[in-house]
Amino acid sequence: MRLFPALSLSAALALASAAPALSLDRRVTIINNTGFTIVRFYGSNTGSDSWQEDILGQDVLPSGSSVVINFDDATGYCMFDFRAEFEDGDVLERGGVNVCETATFTYE
């Protein structure tokens, strides 16, 4: 009978230590200070083989503007790769952005 309370305590401790990783805030404010409009923006977890879909969709991000993006894709990943495509055709990629620790990401 003593085995079950010990297992319950172990399970509770394991869940308590895992909960913070699952509940991390993955919202990042993307700021565009480049002088050019971002016409497409992608953010894919580093475990992905593709850029997925354009997060902005039909919207754009003009220079001097910002948008808050929630990168919580239910995978538990914190590391994401970003790709911004601009109206003039330029592309900026940044790999390994920790969205669990980064609240603001600025393109300049």
Q: What are the sequence ranges of the domains in the chain? A: 25-107
At 57-93, the pLDDT tens digits run: 999 999 999 999 999 988 889 999 999 999 999 999 9
Please answer whether residues 65 and 28 qualify as being in contact, where contact means their C-beta atoms are separated by less than 8 angstroms. Answer: no
CATH architecture for the domain at 25-107? Sandwich (2.60)
At 85-100, the pLDDT tens digits run: 999 999 999 999 999 9
| pTM, entire model | 0.78
Bridge partner list, 93: 83
CA distances from 14 to 20, 47, 57, 61 (A): 11, 25, 39, 42
d(CA 94, CA 80): 9
